[in-house]
């Protein structure tokens, strides 16, 4: 991929497409310091606000309608190429998970990271959101890494092997509980958002949520951080994790396992022995039928926080009527065409009615 020497979004997108068409774009993008980050999670969970704060952008936040793209740049040093992070944000909660096929392709799997934002103030929706979104990403990664997909995109045997290696990320031999984990195929960061509202929940409820997310993040060999856009200290820690995925910077050494405080856990610093057993008082764990440890924790968690039915599909707005995407000239032409269509329907109805009377 050619060296990017412009700040415009469209020229960067054009360069990205050219790199994909050449069939050798991934290695060149890695050499140029380019990474891809997919941000997804709870609907209205604060994904956009967190992203803007991590990029040091003072902008008004707008609801993410579907899948939005932006980018971040960071200078390595004086007169050196800048690192570029391609940032994709999926809106709509779990309802638009099919759109993960756009940012997850055979050519960028090796440079991809995932950030899952979960709204701590809505614990009844937390597990369902996490399960559906991570499942959708895993499914898409499997398709992107299949030999048929890589061959279709012009990847040779060497690149196919590299993609498969990325999908089956191997942990260090000294990684805690290494043989008991199911590592996520790509680097994963779980962010618990709205910690300020989370503190208003009862102590036992906070304990269940915190302990469960500790288990899930360790099970997937992921990092975990609780944050709030109202806290500069928490956002600073969150930004460190984000910068590590987007630009390869150090995550720092801060770790907090205290359930009474915001959790800050780097991948590999927790263990099942420290986490302990699932937090339950009303359910006999021995009576639960579970296929694996993750399924067991799910059953215990949902006994404390029964999953709520969501209507995200019905709540999605029509982009054509959303004011944040308004275009006066286009909207005026659309209104005119809508009127013409309605008139055509009325005339057609009269014609069919007349034809029926004649016959």
pLDDT at 136 over 60: yes
CA angle 77, 30, 70 (to 5 degrees): 80
Structure tokens at 187: 């680097």
pLDDT at 250: 87
How far apart CA 247 and CA 9 sit, in angstroms, is: 19
Answering whether pTM is above 0.85, one says no
- Higher-pLDDT residue of 354, 136: 136
Residue 65 in contact with residue 90, Cβ under 8 Å? no
On average, the pLDDT of the chain sits at: 82
pLDDT at position 193 = 97
Q: How confident is the model at residue 325 (pLDDT cuts 50, 70, 90)?
A: low
C-alpha triplet 228, 54, 60: angle, nearest 5°: 80
Number of alpha carbons in the 13 Å side-chain half-sphere of residue 177:
21
Is it the case that residue 75 has pLDDT exceeding 50?
A: yes
Tens digit of pLDDT for each residue in 5-34?
445 666 666 666 555 545 444 554 554 578
Q: Cα(180)–Cα(198) distance, rounded to whole angstroms?
A: 30
The DSSP bridge pattern shows strands 34-41 and 82-90 to be: parallel
71: Cβ contacts below 8 Å, ≥ 6 apart: 9, 12, 84, 85, 86, 87
Residues 94 and 132 sit within 8 Å (Cβ to Cβ): yes
Burial of 35 (0-12, 13-18, 19+ CB in 10 A): buried
If pLDDT is split at 50, 70 and 90, which confidence band does 163 have?
A: very low
CA-CA distance, 340 to 140, in Å (whole number)? 42
Query: For 276, phi and psi rounded to 5 degrees?
Result: 85, -165
108 contacts 203 by C-beta, under 8 angstroms = no
Residue % of the chain over a pLDDT of 70: 74
44-53, 234-243, 342-351: least confident range: 342-351
Question: What would the two tokens of residue 156 be?
Answer: 């040779």
Q: Tell me: the pLDDT tens digits for 217-235?
A: 999 999 999 999 999 999 9
158-170 burial, b at 16+ Cβ within 10 Å, e below that, comes to ebbebbeebbeee
pLDDT value for 314: 45
Cα separation, 351 vs 313, whole angstroms:
37
The answer, yes or no, to whether residue 359 has pLDDT greater than 90, is: no
User: How many CA atoms within 13 Å lie on the side-chain side of 132?
Assistant: 19
Rg (CA), the chain: 24
Whole-angstrom distance between the N-terminal and C-terminal Cα of the chain? 67
> Could you identify the residue written with the tokens 């009576």?
287
Give residue-wise pLDDT tens across range 263-305.
999 999 999 999 998 887 566 666 667 778 898 899 899 989 9
How high is the pLDDT of residue 330? 83
CA distance 201 to 9: 42
What string of DSSP letters covers 83-105? EEEEEEEE-STTTTGGGGGTT--
Residues 84/15, Cβ–Cβ less than 8 Å: no
Dihedral in degrees, nearest 10, Cα atoms 141, 48, 43, 250: 50
Residue 134 backbone zone (phi > 0: left; psi -120 to 50: alpha; other: beta)? alpha
Can you tell me whether residue 208 is helix, strand or coil?
helix
The residue among 4 and 229 whose pLDDT is bigger is 229
pLDDT for 98-126, tens place per residue? 999 999 998 888 899 999 999 999 999 99
Looking at residue 168, its pLDDT comes to 47
């Amino acid at each position: 991929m050619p060296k990017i020497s412009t700040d415009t979004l469209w020229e960067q997108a054009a360069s990205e497409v050219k790199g994909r068409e050449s069939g050798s774009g991934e290695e060149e993008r890695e050499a140029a310091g380019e990474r891809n980050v997919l941000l997804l999670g709870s609907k209205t969970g604060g994904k956009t606000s967190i992203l803007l704060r991590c990029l040091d952008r003072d902008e008004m936040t707008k609801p993410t309608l579907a899948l939005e793209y932006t980018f971040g740049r960071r200078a390595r040093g004086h007169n050196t190429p800048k690192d570029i992070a391609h940032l994709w944000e999926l809106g709509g909660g779990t309802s638009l998970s099919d759109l993960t096929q756009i940012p997850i392709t055979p050519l960028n799997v090796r440079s991809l990271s995932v950030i899952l934002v979960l709204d701590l103030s809505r614990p009844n929706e937390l597990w369902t959101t996490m399960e559906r979104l991570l499942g959708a990403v895993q499914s898409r990664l499997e398709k992107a890494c299949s030999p048929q997909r890589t061959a279709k995109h012009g990847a040779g045997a060497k690149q196919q092997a590299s993609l498969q290696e990325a999908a089956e990320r191997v942990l260090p031999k000294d990684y805690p509980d290494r043989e008991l984990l199911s590592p996520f195929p790509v680097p994963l960061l779980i962010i618990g958002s709205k910690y300020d509202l989370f503190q208003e929940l009862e102590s036992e409820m906070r304990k269940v949520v915190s302990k469960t997310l500790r288990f899930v993040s360790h099970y997937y060999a992921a990092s975990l951080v609780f944050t709030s856009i109202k806290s500069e200290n928490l956002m600073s820690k969150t930004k460190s994790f984000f910068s590590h995925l987007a630009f390869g910077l150090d995550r720092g050494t801060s770790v907090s396992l205290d359930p009474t405080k915001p959790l800050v856990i780097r991948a590999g610093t927790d263990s099942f022995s420290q986490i302990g057993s699932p937090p339950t008082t009303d359910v006999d764990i021995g009576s639960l039928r579970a296929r694996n440890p993750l399924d067991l924790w799910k059953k215990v968690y949902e006994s404390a926080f029964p999953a709520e039915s969501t209507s995200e599909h019905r709540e999605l707005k029509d982009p054509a009527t959303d004011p944040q995407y308004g275009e006066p000239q286009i909207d005026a032409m659309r209104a005119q065409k809508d009127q013409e269509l309605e008139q055509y329907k009325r005339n057609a109805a009269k014609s069919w009615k007349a034809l029926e009377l004649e016959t």
